[in-house]
């Protein structure tokens, strides 16, 4: 059998990762699991076939794409509406076409610890709140979400190898 040489630092990493994988809360989800950042997303003026990362607003029966409600309001004001008129127009569009609140997921973490470290360093890029020295706290706008790598043989094998190299039984 071939042998593999790894540094002491890599071995410590594998052991720590194996420990986290083995002991973290699986949130009642089958293994292998992974974590994603789940953010709330609001789509306004939704019509069939539209609705990725954009707020769609009817502008004189033409659909115009805006990245946010603020961008749409600024456009209406630039076109001559007062802030109050712009907000009323936007609210009317919401009422006429509806508002879809959904979630989008991004990033990928093998452990909750990895998710929390990412949020400690990057929470300023996500909606939600920070709790002083404790770092990121899940909120309705942005939170950790566990997913099951359903029938994904690559992820299952990767986790098994990490556990084995990290000194844990699989």
Statement: residue 125 has pLDDT above 70? yes
What would the pLDDT profile of 1-39 be if each residue is shown by its tens digit? 888 898 999 999 999 999 999 999 999 999 899 999 998
Statement: residue 45 has pLDDT above 70? no
Q: What's the pLDDT band for 142 if we cut at 50, 70, 90?
A: confident
What would the pLDDT profile of 89-110 be if each residue is shown by its tens digit? 888 888 777 777 778 898 999 9
Beta bridge partners of 57: 64
Regarding predicted confidence, which is higher, 28 or 40? Answer: 28
Select from 50, 33, 39, 13 the least CA-distant residue to 140: 39
What would the pLDDT profile of 61-71 be if each residue is shown by its tens digit? 556 777 778 88
Cα gap 82→129, rounded to integer Å? 32
**Single pTM value for the model:** 0.68
What would the pLDDT profile of 48-58 be if each residue is shown by its tens digit? 455 455 555 65
- Nearest-10 crossing angle of helices 8-23, 153-165: 120
Rg over CA atoms, the chain: 23
Give residue 123's pLDDT.
82
- Average of per-residue pLDDT across 132-139: 68
Regarding predicted confidence, which is higher, 53 or 163? Answer: 163
CB 17 within 8 A of CB 159: no
């Amino acid at each position: 059998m071939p042998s593999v040489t790894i540094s002491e630092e890599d071995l410590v990493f594998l052991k720590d990762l194996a420990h986290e994988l083995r002991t973290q809360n699986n949130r009642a989800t089958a293994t292998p699991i992974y974590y994603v950042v789940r953010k709330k997303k609001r789509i306004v003026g939704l019509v069939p076939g539209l609705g990725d990362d954009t707020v769609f607003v009817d502008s004189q029966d033409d659909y115009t794409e805006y990245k946010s409600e603020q961008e749409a309001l600024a456009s209406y004001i630039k076109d001559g509406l007062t802030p109050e008129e712009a907000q009323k127009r936007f609210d009317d569009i919401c009422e006429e076409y509806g508002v879809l609140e959904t979630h989008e997921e991004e990033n990928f973490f093998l452990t909750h610890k990895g998710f929390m470290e990412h949020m400690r360093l990057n929470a300023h890029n996500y909606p939600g709140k920070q709790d002083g020295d404790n770092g990121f706290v899940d909120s309705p706008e942005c939170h950790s979400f566990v997913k099951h790598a359903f029938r994904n043989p690559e992820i299952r094998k990767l986790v098994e190898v990490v556990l084995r190299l990290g000194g844990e039984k699989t």
